[in-house]
Structure 1
Amino acid sequence: MSPDLLETRLTDRQSSIAGRARGIAFGIDIGGTGIKGAPVDLATGLFCEPRRTVATPSPATPQAVARAAAELRAGFDGLASVPVGVTVPAVVRKRIVRTAANIDPSWIGIDGQSLFDEAFGTPVALLNDADAAGLAEVTRGAAQGEPGVVFVVTLGTGIGSALFVDGRLVPNTELGHLRIDGFDCCPWASAAALTRDNLSWADWVSRVQEYLAFAESLIWPDLIVIGGGISAEAERFLPLLQLDAPVVRARMGNDSGIIGAAYEAHAAALR
């Protein structure tokens, strides 16, 4: 190894250690229309600098998305070597992307870990977007310190899910796709169904109630956390739900993916 290359690697290593010591990690949340990211203060769960967003490339191929995400992160000065976490709207199992929601089908079968490691020039923690949102709630949000089984549900264009047992993530549950009478609950009980199917609040809540009751009968959670954009109107529907487990509103909002990715990056850097 040349002296220059050795010095570069040592510098990167020292910068990474310094970033961990400062309690900062960088989170990037990849969505169907936008890629957003920010450095996160791990002691508080708050952004160290304002979040930035770039458009998701079209088509959203793996190489194009990874390049856009790396460029987004490079726009923040002085944070080049802090741990980085990236979410994708997909199942990620043993480094490999297994599904593709709102991104190009060419993602399926890709070694996503290697893709982002190469694009960023440093190891990256890669995880499912709903799992990242759940991590934010368990680490700094509505489920912080909660023992037992916690079920985090995000209601948006579909239904995302994250499952935790004593604070430990069970990855890639995809429980939003439970089927009732042959129907996939993901579009049927999503927040998007409220306007798409011209539902009254009462009719929509009855769908959410049926979905959550079915999920509860399978996993028996000790706490259910409801997130997604519709959670801003939680007072209109949470009191109407009749479930055995307590149901609470998520606290981390639309930044939960970024925050959860940052915490996973920090945890991965320590492993």
Structure 2
Amino acid sequence: MKKTTGQLNVLSIDVGGSHVKATVLNKQGDLTMEYEKIETPMPSTPENMLKAIKRLVKNFPAYDKISVGFPGYIKNGVVVTAPNLGNKAWSGFDLQTELQTQLGKPARVVNDADMAGLGVVDGKGFEMVITLGTGFGTAFFLDGILLPHLEISHHPVAKGKDYDVYIGDIALDDLGVKKWNKRMKKVFKILKTVFNYDYLYIGGGNARKLDMKLDKNMKLVTNEQGIKGGARLWQEKELKGTAVAAKK
């Protein structure tokens, strides 16, 4: 592994249903290298995923900490659900500890939308982040502080279909872009009514296929912007502590 000099560096990994992407960030969240990606292994078992990650980052510059955005519900670094990778294989798997063991650096694992949100939010008011890809990801922030994760993707939205089924990759392929956009208009109306956010950020690989005019408080963001959240993830405890102190 090549050595780098200077400040703290964070290996930031984004695990997706189709690709695993990674780069090394400095403390400010700036990329120290272009991010690289490989196809998500099939079957996407923990063993295969760990092998893929190790292969991807083998020749990366040196890093001090690891941040991972994972497509599922994560509790204290342990996978609870992984609907787009296979719940049975992943349920109860301590990905955070296993990464620390295999890569030899402190690791933090959170939901992928949560980590992406850390890279794009402005830190003012109630902000919501959604990701449009294999499934539907969400994250919520209040004055820049990450709020507890909610699996909105599995909430019914129409005729017994949850958001993953209603607007995920399979729906896009089956419906085509035009009909999928009609569904997205309905989803945006629901999100605006239910959450009353100050700002909505829209990311994920399918965000570029939106063809409608967005409200002034809605913004498209890229995967490259989102992966920068890996650096800010290590500042979360510090940020929360500051927020609590300010309220006293």
TM-score (structure 2 length as normaliser) = 0.81
1:163 counterpart SS class: strand
Contact 1:29 1:36 in 2 (8 A): yes
Structure 2 residue 155 is matched with structure 1 residue 178? yes
Select the residue among 237, 243, 264 that pairs with 2:212: 237
Q: Corresponding residue for 1:29?
A: 14
Structure 1 residues 85 and 59: alpha-carbon distance in aligned structure 2, compared to 1, 3 A threshold: same
1:92 counterpart SS class: strand
Contact 2:84 2:134 in 1 (8 A): no
2:137 counterpart SS class: strand
Structure 2 residue 197 is matched with structure 1 residue 221? yes
Q: Corresponding residue for 2:245?
A: none
Structure 2 residue 17 is matched with structure 1 residue 41? no
Structure 2 residue 120 is matched with structure 1 residue 137? yes
Contact 1:26 1:261 in 2 (8 A): yes
1:162 counterpart SS class: strand
CA drift of 1:159 comes to: 1.3
Computed over aligned residues only, the root mean square deviation of the Cα atoms, in angstroms, reads 2.9
Q: Corresponding residue for 1:12?
A: none
Aligned equivalents of 2:66, 2:109: Cα separation in 1: 9
Structure 2 residue 70 is matched with structure 1 residue 88? yes
The number of equivalent residue pairs is 236
Structure 1 residues 30 and 157: alpha-carbon distance in aligned structure 2, compared to 1, 3 A threshold: closer
93-102 or 188-197, larger mean C-alpha shift: 188-197
Structure 2 residue 110 is matched with structure 1 residue 127? yes
Which ranges in structure 1 are unaligned for 5 or more consecutive residues? 1-14, 139-143
1:173 counterpart SS class: coil
2:81 counterpart SS class: coil
CA drift of 1:107 comes to: 0.8
1:98-137 alignment, distance < 5 Å: 98-104=80-86, 105-137=88-120
Structure having the higher Rg: 1
1:98 counterpart SS class: strand
Structure 1 residues 111 and 47: alpha-carbon distance in aligned structure 2, compared to 1, 3 A threshold: same
Contact 1:124 1:265 in 2 (8 A): no
1:187-223, CA deviations, whole angstroms, 9 ceiling, x for partnerless residues?
A: 21346534422352xx433322222222333322111
1:199-257, CA deviations, whole angstroms, 9 ceiling, x for partnerless residues?
A: 52xx43332222222233332211111112233355x2134x6xxx822222xx12245
Select the residue among 238, 248, 262 that pairs with 2:219: 248
Question: Per residue, is there more helix in 1 or in 2?
Answer: 1
